[in-house]
Amino acid sequence: MKKKDRSNGPEAEWIVEESTELLNFLFKMMPSRSRKAVKKVLGRGQVVVNKEATTQFNESLQPGDRVQIHSHGTNYKAQMTGIKILYEDDVMIVIDKEAGLLSIASEKERHMTAYRQLTEYVQRIHAKNRIFVVHRLDRDTSGVMLFAKSKKIQQSLQNAWHEVVPERAYIALVEGTVKKDDTITSWLTEDKTLTMRSSPRPNKGQKAVTHYTVLKSNRDLSLLQVNLETGRKNQIRVHMKDLGHPVVGDKKYGSRSNVIGRLGLHAHSIAFTHPVTGETLRFESKIPTSFTRKF
């Protein structure tokens, strides 16, 4: 097996001389790197076999196959559906989720979810790797989500959520003209149909507080920035119904129109204190153009 270095091309290149599996081949050809480091190179999509990037550790190699190592992976990230990874380190992943993709499995859909795809992604580096949901977005809500790579990190974020997450902003496209900024407070309960109900009576259900600012408005629609003081199920959708301005496309909570062909709710930004480094990180997802073209 001969190694070939190139200044303008792959970092390394070999021609396979005997049948083997890819990961075993890489261990043999990269003796100066730890097994963990080799697995990361493979998991990041930096390995190309016969001009096709792969992350399959058990891919069969035959004599004559060409194996290359590239400095930048073509990457399994690009192959995921409805997900863009905004940030990743040893303990967490931040993604931008498209509308229509489930955060986690449901009775009807268990495979095409953000959780399932990210699990497959991290397990390409090591089969025992796992991810943990820190918070969820509704299927039809797009935007920024956090995932942890261990139960410990998940719990450290969830247990101190209000202290470590100073900013969590949504953009909501709602029906009608909202004239002023305000705050909505109510108590939410869930009925047998899994619909959230809102009550002004204190201590009946979970307290929910939503702050909103009017960004744009016309006679038909308003674009709001919504900041959550609490994070209850369907909170923004229920509170916009309470306001008399349901989220566009939200038939469940009173919408009468769907002028953008999707739910008008987007998780725009989140800032949080990193659970290990203590650094404050902030991530933002661009407001969908369908939300703004009506103004």
Q: In 3-state terms, what secondary structure has residue 116?
A: helix
Catalytic residue among 89, 90, 96, 138: 138
Residue 92: both structure tokens together: 């967490």
Residue that has been written with the tokens 């404050």 in this structure: 280
Question: Is 64 exposed, middle or buried (CB count within 10 Å of its CB: 0-12, 13-18, 19+)?
Answer: exposed
Give the integer Cα–Cα distance in Å for 251 and 139.
14
Give the integer Cα–Cα distance in Å for 92 and 126.
15
- Detail the DSSP E strand segments found in 131-288: 132-133, 142-148, 167-175, 182-190, 196-199, 206-217, 221-228, 265-273, 280-284
Dump the DSSP string for 140-171. T-EEEEEEESSHHHHHHHHHTHHHH--EEEEE
Reply yes or no on whether 138 is catalytic: yes
Residue whose C-alpha is closest to residue 183's, from 209, 205, 214: 209
Neighbours of 112 (CB within 10 A): 13
Residue 80: both structure tokens together: 């995921």
Residues taking part in catalysis: 138
